[in-house]
Structure 1
Amino acid sequence: MLTQTTTRVLEPGDLGAALAVLESEPVANAFVTSRVQIAGLDPWRLGGEMWGWYTDGRLRSLCYSGANLVPICATPEAVRAFADRARRAGRRCSSIVGPAEPTAQLWRLLEPGWGPAREVRANQPLMVTESSSADVAPDPLVRRIRKDEMDVLMPACVAMFTEEVGISPLAGDGGLLYQARVAELIGAGRSFARIEDGKVVFKAEIGAATPQACQIQGVWVAPEHRGRGLSETGMAAVLRYALADVAPVVSLYVNDYNTPARRAYARVGFRETGAFMSVLF
């Protein structure tokens, strides 16, 4: 048994202890929990390493190190240890993302060596709901996307990603990984859109899903259709599917400066319960 404060890369045999940490905060940790429940802790299947922070022989905090660097239930002491390991390994991630307080601390420690970032989004409200609002009727034209509609959906996904992140998802590998992720969500029945005349008017996905909670992402309305309330009715439709078919708690996080989106989500039934932070490279 580990009897002192230490960090190490977790192994498949540590799965039970890791899931206990992840499931202690099911909403905040939904993204990583969903991956671990599917892939376990093998780095090749998981797409990255899971670092564990132990005190008195007990696993207390985690940090996922893959395409994203994600502190999980991380105490200040754990964040310092994770930052030391990340510095030694060098930056391999395209972003740091997680609950605002530990992510901010992690970035303060890493910025001297890893900075400057392309963008820092220090306050991204985490919004949660367990029910739909009766004030907004779901859009009856929003539905699950079929596998044979990927070519119709893909331009909207690329436009959303580029608008939100500031770079095209087609850069680097030509978009192979991004296309695979879009296809995965379609295949899982977690991609939704309203399509008119062969073009996507509204879209959103349930990106992370566990039995306890799921997370909506990729919300987008075609520019020429904005201002018509489609984000509200569309989100109401996706929320209805999520609550009925996926998990009893639905979450999302949004940029603090996106006041129209925050208001729309609140009208659909979401309430702000915390904050995330993202550092983009």
Structure 2
Amino acid sequence: MKKILSISLAAVAGLMMASCSDEAPMDTDLYPQTVYIVGAHNRIIDANLDLRYPVDTVNLSVSVSGNRILDRDVKVTLAECPEAIQYYNEREVSAQARQFRHLGDTVYSIPSNEVMVQAGEVYHTFPIYVNPQSLKCDSLYMLAFKIAGTSEFKATKTDTVALVNLHLSNPYSGQYYMNGVIKAVDNPNDSLVYVMPRKLVATDDGQTVRMFHYNNEWQEGAMNDYRPTSTFKITVNPDQTLKLTSWDKFDLQDGGGKYYPEMKAYALWYTYRERGKLWKTVGFLYKERKNNTQQHEINDWMEDMRASGWQ
């Protein structure tokens, strides 16, 4: 029995070696090649539009799956499908929340509906040109594209529609933290020290963001909207000094400060009137850090700024 088993194993091994020598696994298609839009499996593709530019470019990527290098050109035709945005609003967005809007025809353009993924390429991009300065920071914008046809292979069944969620941005927008103190002007002992996350929203141009004062930031679908009464704009001047203006009804009296690009941080102050009383906020607004080492660096910088007598 042992001798028979040894012969059988040797025969199997010999067949396997012969098979491997005849054709390597990477020389064959281990699964069918299909055409897809990269990221469409997540349903939403987030894209930033930089307000510094009159026209910014959003790129979709079209690819052909497979374990082998593409050996031929594949022409892919994309088509817009705004009905997918309406379907998403109906299925995924609360009736009380803002609805996603399709961009107007004058706001964006597409040079061609066709993409050529050439032999040897992993993917090819599909550019969309958008005018971000015509958009509003409190509106939700979306574009939708689907694979309408291919010259080779079939389109995948799950990654054929891409919903592109467009966000306004500039170098000063993003997630920040406010480390500050609020004092009554007529009684500095009446004060509040706080550290609070603040999302700075790009608006107007490439130099301006909108910030919430102290109230909790408004959340999608929330009943209380503090944006009109509790937000103001910060504009970074060419010399890095700050200009502060009210967004709507926030009773901002005065303000100023400076932006420090090397630290991605603002040192700012502003006075405002609330319930007939004058208050002053002084502090530092710094961009979210990625790790403890970076957080220690910004903490040391703020401590040094305070020790130097800033405000």
The answer to which structure, 1 or 2, has the higher relative contact order (CA under 8 A, 6+ apart) is 1
Structure 1 length normalisation: TM-score?
Answer: 0.24
User: Rg: which structure is higher?
Assistant: 2
Higher helix share: 1
**Under a length normalisation based on structure 2, what TM-score does the superposition of the two structures give?**
0.22
Higher strand proportion, which one?
2
